[in-house]
Chains A and B, each alone.
Chain A
Amino acid sequence: MRFLAHVDVRLRHGIADPEGATILRALPALGFDSVASVESGRSFRVELDASDLEAARSMAASLADRLLANPVIEESVIEVEPLG
């Protein structure tokens, strides 16, 4: 079966996020005065084949941990859905 994994990689709590801080500082210039915080990150959509949803989740978690995220500074949040 084919699945689509959404892998959301974000910085661990406490790790400096200069990108998020810069965006936050820029927003008031556009009139967004009430934005409390911005965290930057990146997302990946990975199509993969697995026997079932659980196996797909496990594979997505493993590839996120080994390549997409650097566990020293980042963590990943994963959602998996079956495709057609």
Chain B
Amino acid sequence: MTASIGVVVFPGTNCEHDAVAAVDALGGHGRLIFHTDTSLGDVDGLILPGGFAHGDYLRPGAIARFSPIMDAVRGFAESGGPVVGICNGFQVLCEAHLLPGALQKNRGLTFLCQPSVLEVVSTASVLTSGATVGDRLDVPINHFSGSYTCDIDTLRTLTESDRIVLRYADNPNGSIDAIAGISNEAGNVVGLMPHPERAVSALLGSEDGAVLLRSFLDAAASASVA
């Protein structure tokens, strides 16, 4: 069946159409959900896409966290619905405490917009269930505040419970333990800084993001059946 994917749009979000196009290209059905909405409607999965929600004022994601739609996002996530936050969406999920830790300014204070090589660390998440541990994926990054950080206890928990989902091969932004993406305890909420939706076509330089989004669509489709 076709998975219906809601893509949440905050003021300043700018990757929502890429996300919808990637979902549609992979056989799902994407549709936009506005930040002032209070209900998600009938969706099987949620993407919080990249951009600069509320101008990244204060901290990336700090204001978006209080958007009217976020109560519904939290409810969907807590009931086991598949949720992925990409780039700014990852920052929003951290600020909303749906994922632990925080994203800081990149090491070197440089805005990074470049291809990056990711290594699949865990397949126990809705984004990586169709990949294989050790897979190396060519997926671009595009961020200024992408350096993942957390306290040592959180890092230990993430490591021991197989919640580090993706690592950078060369850690361009100085993230702790080269973390590019993590999941919540249940594996249904994932945040990552790289942009898989920009890597679903050879024409755009890489198709390696497709395995991630396909896993996500499969998880959404089966969540819908359940």
Q: Are A18 and B109 in contact (CB under 8 A)?
A: yes
Cβ-based interface call for B102 (8 A) = yes
Cβ-based interface call for A43 (8 A) = no
Q: Report which residue of A16, A19, A72 has the largest number of chain B beta carbons within 10 angstroms of its beta carbon.
A: A72
Chain B contact surface mostly: loop
Q: Are A70 and B108 in contact (CB under 8 A)?
A: no
Q: Are B95 and A16 in contact (CB under 8 A)?
A: no
Interface residues on A, range: 10 to 19
Beyond A16-B147, A16-B174, whether A70 also contacts B102 by CB under 8 A is yes
Interface residues on B, range: 10 to 19
Docked pose: A18 CA to B109 CA in angstroms: 7
* Cβ–Cβ < 8 Å partners of B107 in chain A: 16, 18
Cβ-based interface call for B72 (8 A) = no
Cβ-based interface call for A55 (8 A) = no
Q: Are A72 and B102 in contact (CB under 8 A)?
A: yes
Q: Are B147 and A70 in contact (CB under 8 A)?
A: no
Cβ-based interface call for A62 (8 A) = no
Q: Are B149 and A67 in contact (CB under 8 A)?
A: no
Q: Are B102 and A19 in contact (CB under 8 A)?
A: no
Option from B62, B94, B105, B150 in Cβ contact (under 8 Å) with A19? B105
Q: Are B95 and A70 in contact (CB under 8 A)?
A: yes
Q: Which of A28-62 contact B (CB under 8 A)?
A: none
* Cβ–Cβ < 8 Å partners of B104 in chain A: 15-16, 18, 73
Cβ-based interface call for B142 (8 A) = no
| CB of B80, distance to nearest CB on chain A (Å) | 25
Q: Which of A1-36 contact B (CB under 8 A)?
A: 15-16, 18-19, 22
Q: Are B102 and A67 in contact (CB under 8 A)?
A: no
* Cβ–Cβ < 8 Å partners of B150 in chain A: 72
Option from B101, B105, B108 in Cβ contact (under 8 Å) with A72? B101
| CB of B114, distance to nearest CB on chain A (Å) | 18
Docked pose: A70 CA to B106 CA in angstroms: 17
Docked pose: A59 CA to B214 CA in angstroms: 47
Cβ-based interface call for B59 (8 A) = yes
Docked pose: A80 CA to B149 CA in angstroms: 31
14 A–B contacts from the bound complex (CB under 8 Å): A15-B149, A16-B107, A16-B147, A16-B174, A18-B108, A18-B174, A67-B58, A67-B62, A68-B58, A70-B59, A70-B102, A72-B150, A73-B102, A73-B104
Q: Identify 15 new A-B residue pairs, CB closer than 8 A, beyond the known A16-B107, A16-B149, A22-B109.
A: A15-B104, A16-B147, A18-B105, A18-B108, A18-B147, A18-B174, A19-B109, A67-B62, A68-B58, A70-B62, A70-B95, A70-B102, A72-B94, A72-B101, A72-B102
